[in-house]
Amino acid sequence: MIKRWSEAELRFLKDNATKMSVQALADALAVRIDELEKKMEKLGLLGTPADAPAPKKAQTLKELSKHTENARKDYDRGVAALQKKKLDEAERHFVDLIQKYPEERELVDRARVYLTICERQRRDPRPALSEPEDFYYAAVLEKNRGNVDEAIEHLQRAARKNGGGRVDFLLACCHAQKGDLTTALAHLQKAIEEDQRHRVLARHDRDFDPVREMPEFQKLLAS
């Protein structure tokens, strides 16, 4: 499947073509190297000194902890800026996270989702919701605004395009926030069946704090 490049991703590519290696750029943008090189050639970016080393990876437990903490700060700042409709600021934090902390896979994946939301908001501040993906992104925004019921309504209309379990995972987050353990677990189990990475995400996602100590939740994550 050919990658659809967002404006935010293109800006990131242009800004970092001389600062990051092709491999590091490919990792940050979640694209194959051959496809990235074609895009860089089309943009006239090949031939530029793009042989900079990838970001230094954390080696010790202390460094790993610090990396995760800093990545979380960029993520939280990006979400806060997006909620205030400060799109440039939000994009800067999400791009910084992707560039500096590529090993923080879960946060990087979420940052890419929010970059897509920024791009949609930039194109049309009040997009008409028609496609399942539109409802999914609307649900992400509503959940982070604290409007859990509205998020669930959007997700129910996005369910026919589950996106590797991401709709079920977000539904699980929403129902956990409402304290509805049975429904949250049902959706989380479906999400994990679609993609085992959702089990790892659930272990660290603060949305599950209301049900985290419940034996049923812990049993599902330990499976």
CATH number, domain at 206? Answer: 1.25.40.10
The predicted structure's pLDDT at residue 187: 93
Given 54, 75, 90, the domain boundary residue is: 54
The yes-or-no verdict on residue 74 having pLDDT over 80 is yes
Question: Are 75 and 142 found together in one domain?
Answer: no
Q: Worst-scoring range by mean pLDDT, 16-25, 121-130, 131-140?
A: 121-130
Question: Are 151 and 87 found together in one domain?
Answer: no
Domain holding 26, by residue range, is 1-54
The yes-or-no verdict on residue 188 having pLDDT over 60 is yes
Given 100, 123, 146, the domain boundary residue is: 123
Judge residue 107's burial from the number of C-beta atoms within 10 Å of its C-beta, 0-12 exposed, 13-18 middle, 19 or more buried: buried
Question: Are 15 and 36 found together in one domain?
Answer: yes
Question: Are 153 and 210 found together in one domain?
Answer: yes
Question: Are 179 and 198 found together in one domain?
Answer: yes
Per-residue pLDDT averaged across 123-135, rounded?
A: 62
Per-residue pLDDT averaged across 117-126, rounded?
A: 70
The yes-or-no verdict on residue 49 having pLDDT over 50 is no
Mean pLDDT for the chain?
Answer: 79
- Reported as half-sphere exposure (CB side, CA atoms, 13 A), residue 157 has a value of 15
Question: Are 10 and 33 found together in one domain?
Answer: yes
Question: Are 139 and 207 found together in one domain?
Answer: yes
Whether the full predicted model's pTM is greater than 0.95, yes or no, is: no
Total of domains in the chain? 3
The predicted structure's pLDDT at residue 63: 65
* Residues 6+ positions from 18 with CB-CB distance below 8 Å: 48, 49, 50, 52
Question: Are 154 and 203 found together in one domain?
Answer: yes
8 A C-beta contact, residue 101 and residue 108: yes
Q: Grade residue 48 by pLDDT with cuts at 50, 70 and 90.
A: very low
Q: Grade residue 183 by pLDDT with cuts at 50, 70 and 90.
A: very high
Question: Are 138 and 112 found together in one domain?
Answer: no
Given 80, 101, 123, the domain boundary residue is: 123
Q: Grade residue 131 by pLDDT with cuts at 50, 70 and 90.
A: low
Question: Are 115 and 85 found together in one domain?
Answer: yes
Question: Are 201 and 151 found together in one domain?
Answer: yes
Question: Are 31 and 76 found together in one domain?
Answer: no
* Residues 6+ positions from 169 with CB-CB distance below 8 Å: 187, 188, 191, 198, 201, 202
H-state helical runs in 84-214: 87-100, 105-123, 132-144, 148-158, 166-177, 181-194, 197-204
Q: Grade residue 107 by pLDDT with cuts at 50, 70 and 90.
A: confident
Per-residue pLDDT averaged across 82-102, rounded?
A: 84
